[in-house]
Structure 1
Amino acid sequence: MILNLYAFLNYQMPQPTDVLLQIEAAEQPDQILHSANINLSLTNAFARVPAEHGIGERIWMQVEGDFYCTYQATLEITRDVPDLSALKATDLHALPGEAVRYLMPSRYCPSDEFYNFVSTEFGDTSGGPRIAAICDWIASRVNYVPGSSTTQTTAVHTFVQRQGICRDFAHVLISLARASGIPARFVSVYAPAVTPQDFHAVAEVYLNGDWHLIDPTGMAKADEMARIGVGLDAADVAFMNSFNPVQLIAQTVNVTTG
């Protein structure tokens, strides 16, 4: 599948501000970039650095005044999507080093708070069937409500309030997977069916010796997503971190196919 990506950001920076930007789709074996271009307004400093786990890049900038950024890319998704119910859990003692950190609790995914819940609710499942059961539970009990959460909302808050946006759905899935002994990580993506169009958040789980993309909101399919970056939770993969106050002027994301 061919995806055409477009993102436009416009922010006002009242004072010199260090900014960490991550909006470019990552070049990976299962998503091949055919073209990519990013245009930025004038910066006082600019440097590219590797993103988490070496997936994608971040851009360090120092900017002041009217900041704008336009990103356009075309890429091809070549990802195989196996049957989730057929995927087996990897024994913990057989996990590669790269997966171990994604078993641990993190700021937005306090998975240690859910051990008793997953044992009681999903105790007769494991591996892919456990993840499928968790996704079904989220779909039936958590409502997608734009504006219902903040940057302080954790998986525990979403679990209690039973509402959230894409990042909250991802945090709940990640937390319940980690509590089940399945490595899980947060993934920022572009996807064409996301409504309204925006940077999207999903999860990846480590099963049967590999990582597998899953969208607990149900809006995006694994073979229609373009990864931007991965991390323990949303704190690792924000599309933009600013280290002084900034004002949003405009922001647009558009993803089309073909």
Structure 2
Amino acid sequence: MTAAATVTLSIHSHLVYDYAEPTDILVQVEAAHRADQVPHAPELWLTPVTHFTRVPGHDEVGERVWLRTEGRMALDYKARMAITRPAIDLAALPGTDPRLLPGEVIDYLMPSRFCPSDRFVEFVSSEFADLSGGACVAALRDWVAGSMTYVPGVSHAGTCATDTFVQRQGVCRDYAHLLISLLRAASIPARYASVYAPDVTPPDFHAVAEVFVDGAWHLVDATGMANASDIALIGVGRDAADIPFLSSFGQATFVEQFVTVERFS
């Protein structure tokens, strides 16, 4: 493990949607406050709403916000995040037998909506049988990175890891779902992480995997666009269904959206 240097990110996300009727909305766009990432002067600006309540994020990582609004809703989130996360040599981390895992990570061994890991057990067993722990994580990350091509527009909201395995194309969400599925098939707990990262092209909310190895969670990006040392974690879940940045419980019309993330010095 390399000593951690502090990286500061300047984050700005901007969302605008129209709602023809009063609508409940669940938003998760704010970077989580944790020991390894601390927000400075965070701001969440909204057009007037009739309801605003904060609730915990999945696994108590970050916060979600319940809103109720009608008409045009504009949201701006800005923060400077100080990230102090040591560089880890994943390949050197030992594995843990499933029976010895803590109870709170067991769900992340199981198949989920976009990560049907049970369909990949035979493939992982045949191609990566001699690997375990961090060495297996690194090998699966490298396999996904080498087998996939980053192509926007070829996948959609219903695309799951089996589709991506066949197409070998997709965006960050697809890379994350495939890697998570392969990791779970190897009996390694893995979850989906929504993040901000400075070198994502095109700039947007980014998705990576988070894997539980040697008693801790570690961020892993198979696209190669983000490093754990400069990722700002927003929230986690079994897959993308658990942590959309915005869920509308009624009809919504998209107007505009952008995300900017820059290293600040």
TM norm structure 2: 0.96
Match of 2:95 in 1: 89
1:153-232 residue pairs with structure 2 within 5 A? 153-232=159-238
SS at match of 1:212: strand
Deviation at 1:39? 0.5
AA in 1 matched with 2:92: A
Which string of whole-angstrom CA distances, capped at 9 and with x for unpartnered residues, describes residues 140-175 of structure 1?
211110111111000001001111110110000000
Match of 1:149 in 2: 155
Moved more, 244-253 or 166-175: 244-253
SS at match of 1:229: strand
Which string of whole-angstrom CA distances, capped at 9 and with x for unpartnered residues, describes residues 186-241 of structure 1?
00000000011000000100101100000010000000100000000000110001
Match of 1:254 in 2: 260
Moved more, 149-158 or 83-92: 83-92
Which string of whole-angstrom CA distances, capped at 9 and with x for unpartnered residues, describes residues 18-59 of structure 1?
110000000000001122010111112111100100010000
Question: Structure 1: which 5+ residue stretches go unaligned?
Answer: none
Match of 1:53 in 2: 59
AA in 1 matched with 2:250: N
Q: Is residue 28 of structure 1 aligned with residue 34 of structure 2?
A: yes
Question: Distance in 2 between the 1:188 and 1:162 partners?
Answer: 22
Match of 1:13 in 2: 19
Match of 1:65 in 2: 71
After TM superposition, what 4+ stretches of structure 1 lie above 2 angstroms from structure 2? none
- The size of the alignment, in residue pairs, is 258
Which string of whole-angstrom CA distances, capped at 9 and with x for unpartnered residues, describes residues 80-113 of structure 1?
1210110111221221111111111000000001
- Given candidates 134, 137, 152, the residue that maps to 2:140 is 134
Moved more, 170-179 or 74-83: 74-83
Question: Structure 2: which 5+ residue stretches go unaligned?
Answer: 1-6
Question: Distance in 1 between the 2:154 and 2:230 partners?
Answer: 26
Question: Distance in 1 between the 2:244 and 2:219 partners?
Answer: 18
Residue identity over aligned pairs, in percent, reads 52
SS at match of 1:201: strand
AA in 1 matched with 2:105: A
SS at match of 1:108: coil
Match of 1:106 in 2: 112
TM norm structure 1: 0.98
Match of 1:235 in 2: 241
Deviation at 1:67? 0.5
